[in-house]
Structure 1
């Protein structure tokens, strides 16, 4: 495994990071707790020491399972990344920006973007309890909150750093303008954003900004929620309550399938899966610090970690990029 420094912080994170959205269950068709815990533990044992989660993932369940998975392990060798700013329990008292209605145990629950100081403090205390730790390595605002000044949010994070409850702070889903504003009040370490072979919009503005200002980029959804594994085109069926049934419709699926077919010989030649090849390509893109990869069980987790063993030459990277250009996405 390769370990990389996040921005100007002192955090050393695994290039492949465990993304814990799916093990929360909500929006992903559910998952067995023992499989999820084994996936986290297998990740750590194979060098993926960085775990990224959020309170919203499973309404606290994802954080709880990570807490169970790391219990008794050397905390100094594990990096916990979590978030704040999506409130679903009514504690915001109607404040903030309505985001969407989520399903919880068959009931519709309104979710708000809310990042006021007092709310952040409460969220962090709840996350610490669920994770079973006394500090968070990187705390990130989950989505921009238009109802709270960025200055207020950043000042709250600065207080938490001073208290030792978080080691570093980051943003997520922020534009270049919002990131620049945040940096006026706090030296944020990173911006976590969506990035994949099919979604390269950040290369236009955010990547150059990050390279210029030594800002870390954490890439999420590199597999486009499983689409780039190729399994979707091989008869794999999604559960009825899986949000990907709608998510995949945004893509020209025949073009994506044809693209993946061009990569298959390269993957086979390297003794790798398409998933591993896609992950490795993503880790090698300019400006990308770490890449999130989810896993529902230990087998998937180990495969994700082994993606870093793949060598891609400049000519092979050029071939992949040439084929990507044909997609015209």
Structure 2
């Protein structure tokens, strides 16, 4: 923060006549101003991730609000899952709107594919994993297997509520979106990216971007896992809300810092990197799930093991989408700020 502030103050103090010469002499994030707003590859997938991530962020906020208001108690079994399903269907419009808006700003052209991808980015992976679990449950004859009627109700809810709302949100997002309006012009020819030391590679940024936010929630994760997979009863929703806010703040701060260090390496490919670095928290949550299963739980058996790791994998996927979205918007806001505040032609 202090380094960036000194850079901006130094640039802001230069005379206007020396701006072009000064920019040409600079290295790091200032010299790549003609490439930093170059749009990413795979725009359909990129905008879909941001859209679905925004949807899950809204779902988490809604669930926490319900929890703080006392809607989830030990006497209301299944109320949390029911609320999550209803919120997922109703917030599909948010996924469509954000995805359509981002895709419009990225000058995308394949609108149908963008909407279909947004609607199925989470639904299809979840349905495949859930189908495998339910098939095993039916084969074992357990009561945990959902009956066909419940499956049909969920399918109709997605088909007649979730998917139409995604389409409507995408249409509104496309029509209500303005141009990207980058502070700097982008050249036709991309600048060559120099090689960097091993400790500044994408892998290291991903590990740092995932571990630090994970450390902010590691203690609370034990109680959450124990509640879902054990006999613990978690009722400290106020503390959980505070931890969630801390998680978002840490994710945003780390994403901004990692993006800045990436730009100082003259690497302008920050779009996908901001998602991957922030979303990698989900990877650490999965590693914690492995630790919890073997060293903190008493679970055993094929079906229980399959259920635990399958649903943990889905939860980590949700973390990736949600926190990756937070990292992207934080980095975008930061990059706009620093490039608006320097003088260049």
The alignment's TM-score, normalised by the length of structure 2, stands at 0.27
Greater strand share, 1 or 2? 1
| Higher RCO (CA 8 Å, separation ≥ 6 residues) | 2
The alignment's TM-score, normalised by the length of structure 1, stands at 0.28
